């Protein structure tokens, strides 16, 4: 196929960046930076976003993958935060219905747990009220017998009752990518593997950054009227480079999740439950297709890069799950995959990691650089609005040409359908002669939504060139992510675009031979570079089961 390679697409974009002056430079390609890029570009600002690794490679692919309504925030009496995230949850569900799924969550009430039946009832009622939960999704209180019937494998000896309420599951990395794709449709430029190294100033005000291409080592300068630092756990590094790291600072908290085969823990719905022996701590257990995952831990951690999964982390989660599901008898050998990320929290002396607020804060340096820190996945849109509003107040010459924020009404890439059932039927009717298509179309839809028809058309082109292929849709998915989602390395595809590393690790081996035969060619990078990319990927593939 005569499409440009990943290397060619990247070279073309880098040339354009070096010859353009931007209204706004955004540092950080996680959910916060992505939201800012969409907000700024949709208002009419000429916007560039850079990310030193792959998009969503930090905290934004390492969350519990829930669009929280904020039940846990009630413990810290953060009522305003509960109200805000409940409102935002409804918006992201409306704008990305292929990625956000309302699901029932069971809260078992157990002996020695953090909540009594009355406390849970009042707390979740207040949660439903503050979060604006619609009547059909409001909480239902259960007796011990009803709870056991709802989830038969629960430890009945400690069960006192339960509550069913609604949470919304998502794919955090895919949500970030869809926001970035939508931002590009409004004219933003986004590029991964481009690191902000040193600020560039015009007089005493920040006017851009020196950038390092992490794939080639080349450096160049980007000019912009202003800079927003949305680097997540790395925001203090950017503040330090600007000479503005003072006052409040980040404290990082590590969160670990373990993935098991669903057949080892066949739960009927997601659960949010007390950790036995760690009073006040609760974790989630969430089914996702052929897998089920549990987490998260919440411990202070000193480094933003590559947080490890320790034996202690694994034992903590295993003990918590086995205490509630003793028949499962889960061991370390049942762990199929893991992920570990760090939360960027605003430090408050004397508080533990789980007690620190999840609220976001804005800092504006004397040079004019804006930093957005803290916050949660669910609140990304409001964080973006506040960041861009602040930027525009500081650059009145740009404010006059900009529209007000209207991201509340912007459908994200992939949301171009009215009915999932009807759209899937149209896809199945169109699939025709593509081998294996009926088995995977729904899983593709759950990742790419209405963009699945683009993948299907690519599959037809690939299959027409080689009728011996058993699974052209796998190759079409790879090609789509290279052409439309900035995939450069194997880890970009297997981890953040498809989630295979976490949720279907056995399939990575199954599809590797077919994919590898085409990936190197479609990437366009030199054999030496490709060998290094594969070395990095093999390390990442093995590292998820390396408990130190």
CA distance 177 to 47: 16
Residue 13 has pLDDT above 50, yes or no: yes
The per-residue pLDDT for 125 is: 82
| Strands (E) located in 262-383 | 270-274, 282-288, 291-295, 299-301, 337-346, 360-364, 370-374
The per-residue pLDDT for 357 is: 54
Q: What percent of the chain has pLDDT over 90?
A: 74
Sorting pLDDT into bands at 50, 70 and 90, what band is 453?
Answer: very high
The per-residue pLDDT for 510 is: 86
* Domains within the chain, CATH numbers bracketed: 6-59+173-249+357-409 (3.50.50.60), 101-169+251-352 (3.30.9.10), 420-543 (1.10.8.870)
The per-residue pLDDT for 355 is: 47
Residue 351 has pLDDT above 60, yes or no: no
Sorting pLDDT into bands at 50, 70 and 90, what band is 517?
Answer: confident
The pLDDT tens digits of the residues spanning 162-214 come to 999 888 999 999 999 999 999 999 999 999 999 999 999 999 999 999 999 99
CA distance 146 to 137: 18
The pLDDT tens digits of the residues spanning 131-143 come to 777 777 788 999 9
The pLDDT tens digits of the residues spanning 287-339 come to 999 999 999 998 989 888 889 999 999 999 999 999 999 999 999 999 999 99
Can you give the three-state secondary structure of 180-249, one letter per residue? HHHHHHCCCEEECCEEEEEEEEECCEEEEEEEEECCCCCEEEEEEEEEEECCHHHHHHHHHHCCCCCCCC
The pLDDT tens digits of the residues spanning 39-65 come to 999 999 999 999 999 999 999 999 999
Sorting pLDDT into bands at 50, 70 and 90, what band is 246?
Answer: confident
The pLDDT tens digits of the residues spanning 257-284 come to 999 999 999 999 999 999 988 888 899 9
Sorting pLDDT into bands at 50, 70 and 90, what band is 545?
Answer: very high
Residue 76 has pLDDT above 60, yes or no: yes
CA distance 427 to 454: 10
* Residue burial 171-185, b: 16+ Cβ < 10 Å; e: rest: bbbbbbbbbbbbbbe
Full-model pTM: 0.95
- Mean pLDDT to the nearest integer, 373-379: 87
């Amino acid at each position: 196929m005569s499409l440009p390679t990943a290397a060619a697409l990247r070279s073309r974009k880098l040339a354009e960046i070096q010859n353009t002056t931007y209204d706004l430079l955004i540092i950080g390609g996680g959910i916060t930076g992505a939201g800012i890029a969409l907000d700024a570009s949709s208002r009419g600002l000429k916007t560039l976003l850079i990310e030193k690794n792959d998009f969503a490679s930090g905290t934004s692919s390492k969350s519990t993958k829930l669009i929280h309504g904020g039940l846990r925030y009630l413990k810290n009496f953060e009522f305003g935060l509960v109200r805000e995230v409940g409102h935002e949850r409804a918006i992201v569900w409306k704008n990305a219905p292929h990625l956000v799924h309302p699901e029932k969550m069971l809260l078992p009430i157990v002996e020695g747990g953090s909540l009594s039946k009355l406390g849970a009832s009042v707390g979740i009622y207040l949660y439903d009220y503050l979060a604006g939960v619609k009547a059909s999704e409001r909480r239902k209180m259960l007796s011990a017998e009803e709870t056991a019937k709802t989830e038969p494998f629960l430890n009945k000896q400690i069960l006192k009752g339960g509550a069913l309420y609604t949470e919304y599951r998502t794919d955090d990395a895919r949500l970030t990518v869809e926001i970035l794709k939508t931002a590009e449709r409004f004219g933003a430029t986004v590029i991964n593997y481009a690191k902000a190294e040193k600020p560039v100033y015009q007089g005493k005000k920040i006017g851009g950054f020196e950038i390092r291409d992490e794939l080639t080592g080349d450096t160049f300068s980007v000019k912009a009227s202003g800079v927003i630092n949305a680097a997540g756990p790395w925001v203090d590094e950017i503040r330090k480079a600007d000479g503005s790291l003072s006052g409040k600072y980040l404290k990082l908290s590590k969160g670990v999740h373990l993935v098991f085969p669903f057949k080892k823990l066949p739960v009927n719905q997601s659960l949010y439950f007390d950790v036995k022996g760690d009073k006040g701590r609760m974790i989630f257990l969430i089914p996702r297709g052929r897998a089920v995952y549990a987490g998260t831990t919440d411990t202070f951690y000193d480094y933003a890069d590559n947080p490890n999964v320790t034996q202690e982390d694994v034992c903590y989660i295993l003990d918590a799950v086995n205490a509630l599901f003793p028949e499962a008898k889960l061991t370390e050998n049942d762990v199929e995959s893991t992920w570990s990320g760090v939360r960027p929290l605003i430090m408050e002396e004397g508080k533990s990691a789980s007690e620190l607020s999840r609220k976001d804060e804005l800092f504006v340096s004397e040079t004019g650089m804006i930093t957005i820190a803290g916050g949660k996945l669910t609140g990304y849109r409001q964080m973006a609005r506040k960041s861009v509003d602040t930027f525009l107040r500081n650059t009145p010459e740009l404010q006059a040409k900009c529209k007000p924020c209207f991201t509340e009404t912007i459908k994200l890439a992939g949301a171009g359908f009215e009915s999932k059932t009807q759209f899937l039927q149209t896809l199945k009717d169109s699939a025709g002669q593509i081998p294996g298509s009926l088995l995977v179309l729904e899983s593709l839809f759950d990742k790419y939504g209405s963009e699945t028809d683009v993948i299907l058309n690519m599959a037809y082109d690939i299959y027409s060139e080689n009728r011996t292929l058993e699974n052209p849709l796998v190759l079409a998915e790879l090609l789509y992510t290279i052409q439309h989602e900035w995939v450069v390395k194997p880890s970009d595809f297997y981890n953040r675009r498809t989630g295979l590393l976490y949720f279907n690790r056995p399939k990575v081996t199954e599809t590797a031979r077919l994919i590898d035969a085409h990936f190197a060619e479609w990437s366009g990078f030199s054999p030496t570079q490709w060998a290094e990319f594969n070395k990095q990927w093999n390390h990442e593939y093995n590292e998820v089961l390396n408990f130190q």
